Structure formats: structure tokens, C-alpha cells
């Protein structure tokens, strides 16, 4: 069982990862806007490992940024349940890999934009602002 300070650390790490994923999402959209329009399910993926749990995360934007857990798995540390946990962990990792591969496939199939649309999308993307001004801000 996690102690209170460990729960705080886990949550702090999750916020930092979420902020980093948001910054990556913004950066990728700005880069993509130079030639293509991002697809409607444009997402960033991340991993959090804490204690003995591996958590798979996804960040997307639907009017606001959404960070959510895609899957998780307990890593095997005891021999009594080693096979079951390794099997579950492998399945979780494969499901996550499929989601990432689907994102990559969708990005490769994006249609090119006209010069006018590139200009409009660049203007919209330029309005994306950094998540934080200081490193100690807690919001994603």
C-alpha cells in the first residue's frame, strides 16, 4: 500500500507527465500545421512507472486537454504470481503499442493542405500557449 507521501509523489509525477505530454501535443500540432491538418483524434501517449505499476496514458484535445489512463499493469515482483502478471503486462503493452501504431498510421495518411489552409491553421496553432511559466506550477 502506498503511503501518503508516495501518493503525493505519484500525483505530482502524473501532473508533470501530463504537462509534458500537453507541450508535446502543442509542438506536434504546430509542426504538422505547416503542411497538414491534424486528424480529429490527434493524441500523445506517455508511460508512468511508480512502485510496481506501469500506467499507459493518452492526452488529446476536445475543447480542452484530456489526460486519461488507457491501461495499467502490475509488474511481476514475486514468483507466486509471476506468470499471470507478466502475461497481463505484455497484453497491456501490446494494446498500448497498437494505439500508438494507429496514431502513427493516421498521421501518415493526413491530406496536404492548400497554402490558404496552411496560413489559417498556422494562425490557430500560434495561439497555443505554454502550459507553465514556472516549473513549480501544478496545472496541466
Instruction: Note down pLDDT in tens along the chain; length 140 residues.
Output: 556 668 888 889 989 999 999 999 989 888 888 888 788 888 999 999 888 888 999 999 888 889 989 899 888 777 788 888 888 889 999 999 999 999 999 988 988 888 888 888 888 877 776 655 444 444 44
Domain ranges for the chain, please list them: 4-123
Q: Print the SS3 string covering 76-125.
A: CCCHHHHHHHHHHHHHHHHHHHHHHHHHHHHHHCCCECCHHHHHHHHHHH
In 3D space, the residue among 132, 134, 133, 117 whose CA is nearest the CA of residue 18 turns out to be 132
Q: Look up residue 93 and give its three cell numbers.
A: 503493452
* Alpha carbon distance 7, 127 (integer Å): 35
Give the distance, in angstroms, between the CA of residue 138 and the centroid of all CA atoms in the same chain.
17
Amino acid at each position: 500500500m502506498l503511503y501518503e507521501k508516495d501518493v503525493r509523489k505519484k500525483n505530482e509525477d502524473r501532473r508533470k507527465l501530463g504537462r509534458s505530454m500537453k507541450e508535446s501535443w502543442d509542438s506536434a500540432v504546430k509542426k504538422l500545421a505547416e503542411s497538414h491538418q491534424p486528424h480529429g483524434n490527434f493524441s500523445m501517449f506517455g508511460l508512468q512507472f511508480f512502485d510496481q505499476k506501469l500506467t499507459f496514458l493518452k492526452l488529446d484535445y476536445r475543447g480542452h486537454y484530456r489526460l486519461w489512463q488507457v491501461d495499467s499493469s502490475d509488474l511481476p515482483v514475486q514468483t507466486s504470481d509471476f506468470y499471470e502478471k507478466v502475461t497481463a503486462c505484455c497484453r497491456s503493452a501490446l494494446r498500448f503499442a497498437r494505439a500508438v501504431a494507429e496514431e502513427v498510421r493516421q498521421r501518415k495518411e493526413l491530406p496536404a493542405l492548400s497554402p490558404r489552409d496552411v496560413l489559417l491553421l498556422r494562425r490557430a496553432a500560434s495561439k497555443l500557449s505554454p502550459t507553465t511559466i514556472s516549473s513549480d506550477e501544478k496545472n496541466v
